[in-house]
Chain A
Amino acid sequence: MTASTNDFVIKFANVNGSGSASANELFAKAILRMGVPVSPRNIFPSNIQGLPTWYEVRVSAAGHLGRRGGVDLMVAMNPQTWDADVREIEAGGYLFFDSTKPLPQGMRGDIEIIGMPLSALCVKHYDDPRQRQLLKNVLYLGGLSMLLGIEPAVVEALLSEQYKGKPQLAQPNIDAFRLGRTWAQDNLKFPLKFGVVRADNVGDRIFIDGNSAAGLGCVYGGATVCAWYPITPSTSVAEAFEKYCHKFRIDADGKRKFAIVQAEDEIASIGMVVGAGWNGARAFTATSGPGVSLMTEFLGLAYFAEIPATIVNVQRGGPSTGMPTRTQQADILSCAWASHGDTQHVLLFPEDPHESFAFAADALDLADKLQTPVFLMLDLDIGMNQRLCAPLQWNAGRTLQRGKVLDTEALEGGVPFGRYRDVDGDGIAWRTYPGTHPVRGAYFTRGTTKDADARYSERGPDYLDNVHRLKRKFETAKGLVPQPIIERAHRPTSLGVLYFGSTSPSMHEAAQRLAVDGLALNLMRIRAYPFPDTVRDFVLAHDHVFLIEQNRDAQLRTLLVHSFDVDPARVTPILHYDGTPITARFIAGAIRERLGAIAIREVAA
């Protein structure tokens, strides 16, 4: 066990729907409030009640927010998963359990066991069965706070906040928390080998999940139409949008400056988004892989008809009966090339909730500027877990970028209009909204059977003109999307790493570890597709490049090789795809292993 003060992993094994989620979250937040970074992760089944669910909290003074792997303290509250949970504890670690019933025979000898008679205490102090169930969670919170040195005032303040305005709920919770503490103080051995000590390592960072941040980003980005169909793990994007719209988008008369439609399916969702985008409203949908599959026909139309649309894809393990509650980055190709014909779509890859917010607003701007679908590629790991990140940021004075739209005055003033004419050479043509001018600017929208003035045409040269312009437009997109970020190693090196999205925290941690071993890596974080040319330059500037992805088939690598015709041998994929978030242990291990087979050329300083 490597755990030490402010650096350990605790995992709660619970039964879904037992009320443990709020107690566990409170635990994580209490440690944050003590100035110590945490990164919690929900590991949950695709059902509402009864199946096992886990909440894993990594406490890391150094601020490592990726999943670490291994468990130092298991709070084993679910008999169903007991055996596996016990096995997962690192040697020298702790098992915390409800000792109302005796321990089963044949326990591991290399871990320490802490029993607290939670059920018995509940039965003794509470009559109502529901209250027994709920307060049991708060009891273990009390016990753990004593064992780990979590300040009781912090927890009690959080409980009061949680039940703000409901003192009849707050007090029993606080009492149960104290009861747990007192019992632990009187009966248990502590401190443990690790614990929490107040520090100042959190700073002004905030704690929020990526889906909420993306939903809020859509409010800031000026989305007025949201059409969606529920699917894990994306549902909370639409819910957050709705929540913040109710807060910020109701006028003095109680009228709404937004429209949210829970459509009949994803086809209708994207259809509505396309209709709204065609008609000049900012619109988005939120979905996951199976939903994107249903949307693909429309995405092709939107690409060719050049209609702005924003799609938030919170990726999960596919297919529909796949691993809806597990994380992956496995929709890269299905989104980048969604639909029939020669289509290409813009993808944005936020690394955390901070960027989920920023990129959601950017996606809406980009969709309008480029007149095309734009995907915001979250995944379950970022989307459904609260993550410590930089405060959300908005420049005062920022306005919505509506792109090339000819308004009534422009048309009245005689600006010539042809819907698909490349007037400015950037591949982006001017458009008009329906209803703008009585006799100018109307056009008929269809797929590709058209000429530059939107008249019906099946002529080959017209087709070529159009699709070549679309290619130019995609080139333009390279300069408009979020650019990659390079972090150079402390000394010159011939090795590079490409990574993106939720891999970020684990990648940083892995690079630090490898640096300690004397291995220098230049890092580039890709933040969007189409890849700016700097991505090619980065690949060519290194003898070997590792590309870290959370899918089986190295999908981003396919895009990379395709985009720049780079020699595939230069790019070694490192792939993690069992549905759990990638860890620094995995990345560092895999890079070390691959390097065994590579002769590293030292680069002179």
Chain B
Amino acid sequence: MTYIAKPKLHHPSLTRNRVGFTRRDYEGKISTLCAGCGHDSISASIVQACWELDVEPHRVAKLSGIGCSSKTPDYFLGQSHGFNTVHGRMPSVLTGAYLANRDLLYLGVSGDGDSASIGIGQFVHAMRRGVDMTYIVENNGVYGLTKGQFSATADQGSRSKKGAENTDSPVDLVSLALQLGASFVARSFSGDKAQLVPLIKAAMKHRGAAFIDVISPCVAFNNHGGSTKSYDYVREHNDAVNRLDIIEGRAAIEVIQPDEGVIDVEQHDGSVIRLRKLEADYDPRDRLRAMNFIAHHAAKGEVVTGLLFVDPESRDFHSHLTTVQMPLNQLETAALCPGAEVLEKLNASFR
């Protein structure tokens, strides 16, 4: 397919943010996904979140694996460097990129096949390491790009479009991420922008591995009665535990509702995530309770969404590695090469 220039149409949001960009500046090429695909809604939320966060587009690096979901980085943040890597291996490439330059914001986009099937190993280890990134899985329970086979997140008992039943038990990436030590774990739904945009913003502000599992119906292969990832199913079963807004230290960018039942979670950079708890006792700082909560509701056939866990004290991989503040890709010869004289001494020690 060839590149189609996007027409300069009227756009609802041409106001400039604090760094001088309009929402349009965060968009990318025109999407080639099926009309109505949940993934496109997620792209729109990413655009909105980055614009609201006032990040300069070129300070974001977007990486993905392979799949319909992994194609989407071409459809947002056109001023950012992007990398469509190989199937299931985005986490390692993102990790390497992050090691090279700790100053950029890293956004990893993946699918459920990409992350829970072929790439589950890399998913697991990236979470363990605490790579500073926002990792979004656009979860539709199928392999969209290869036309509708089950992925590892498909529910047991669900049926494919061709009628086959899935007998394998599903991988729940959210529970897995919690167990592996991810310091920010959330779940949302592609159709719920009001919930998703603030979650993406909070994830991008978070230091460490921030994981968001976004249920994202595939209109082509997984939006029918037997599927637990279809719009209707999710709408009905959605048990939104909480909702959040992000407040930047310098100025509030969201209107905050009255204080009733609110928890403030302070982040490393001083910004505050404000959680509007829908369930009075839900504290997203408790990893164990989050795991229980999810399991408890899953047993009832319910999908919980919202910010399920956040560790405000999180550290990232660079701090574990004690690397210098200056990005490694900017270090020059003098900083890296011990030089000829030192080599003479080394030679002497090898005699």
Residues on the A chain within 8 Å of B324, using CB: 251, 255-257
**A224-B329, A225-B100 known; A256+B321 contact, CB < 8 A:** yes
Return the contact of B339 from the options A394, A443, A451 (Cβ within 8 A).
Answer: A394
Question: A310 to chain B: closest CB distance in Å?
Answer: 13
C-alpha gap A269/B92 in the complex (Å): 7
Cβ of B270 under 8 Å from chain A: no
On whether the beta carbons of B92 and A257 are closer than 8 Å, the reply is no
Binds B, one of A92-100, A277-285, A534-542: A277-285
**A434-B81, A435-B58, A438-B57 known; A275+B103 contact, CB < 8 A:** no
C-alpha gap A261/B328 in the complex (Å): 14
Cβ of B332 under 8 Å from chain A: yes
- Listed residue (A216, A219, A224) with the most chain B CB atoms within 10 angstroms of its CB: A224
Residues on the B chain within 8 Å of A283, using CB: 96, 99-100
On whether the beta carbons of A255 and B86 are closer than 8 Å, the reply is no
Cβ of B13 under 8 Å from chain A: no
C-alpha gap A443/B3 in the complex (Å): 13
On whether the beta carbons of A275 and B93 are closer than 8 Å, the reply is yes
On whether the beta carbons of A248 and B93 are closer than 8 Å, the reply is no
On whether the beta carbons of A225 and B80 are closer than 8 Å, the reply is no
Question: A391 to chain B: closest CB distance in Å?
Answer: 4
Cβ of A590 under 8 Å from chain B: no
On whether the beta carbons of A261 and B99 are closer than 8 Å, the reply is yes
Question: What is the total number of residues of chain B having a CB less than 8 Å from a CB of chain A?
Answer: 66
On whether the beta carbons of A392 and B343 are closer than 8 Å, the reply is yes
Contact with A along B68-111 (1 / 0, CB 8 A): 00000110001111111110010111111111110110000000
Cβ of A271 under 8 Å from chain B: yes
- Listed residue (A32, A267, A268) with the most chain B CB atoms within 10 angstroms of its CB: A268
Question: B259 to chain A: closest CB distance in Å?
Answer: 39
Cβ of B63 under 8 Å from chain A: yes
C-alpha gap A554/B93 in the complex (Å): 35
Question: A440 to chain B: closest CB distance in Å?
Answer: 9
On whether the beta carbons of A275 and B346 are closer than 8 Å, the reply is no
C-alpha gap A434/B86 in the complex (Å): 19
Return the contact of A276 from the options B100, B331, B340 (Cβ within 8 A).
Answer: B100
C-alpha gap A214/B168 in the complex (Å): 47
**A227-B96, A455-B3 known; A435+B83 contact, CB < 8 A:** no
Contact with B along A190-226 (1 / 0, CB 8 A): 0000000000000011111000000010011110110
Cβ of B323 under 8 Å from chain A: yes
Task: Kindly report which residue of chain A lies nearest to residue B124, judged by CB atoms.
Answer: A264
Cβ of B199 under 8 Å from chain A: no
C-alpha gap A281/B163 in the complex (Å): 49
Return the contact of A456 from the options B74, B99, B341 (Cβ within 8 A).
Answer: B74
Cβ of A21 under 8 Å from chain B: no
Residues on the A chain within 8 Å of B257, using CB: none
Cβ of B255 under 8 Å from chain A: no
Question: B19 to chain A: closest CB distance in Å?
Answer: 9
Leading 9 A-B pairs by shortest Cβ distance: A275-B96, A271-B92, A281-B100, A434-B81, A272-B96, A280-B329, A275-B93, A279-B100, A206-B350
8 pairs, CB–CB < 8 Å, chain A vs chain B? A254-B322, A257-B331, A258-B328, A270-B92, A298-B89, A391-B350, A394-B343, A444-B84
11 further A-B contacts with Cβ under 8 Å, apart from A222-B333, A271-B96, A279-B329, are A255-B324, A257-B328, A268-B89, A274-B92, A274-B93, A274-B96, A275-B63, A278-B100, A399-B333, A451-B3, A459-B2
Interface residues of A (CB under 8 A from B): 32, 204-208, 216, 219-222, 224-225, 227, 244, 248-249, 251, 254-261, 263-265, 267-281, 283, 297-298, 301, 305, 391-396, 398-400, 432-439, 442-447, 451, 455-459
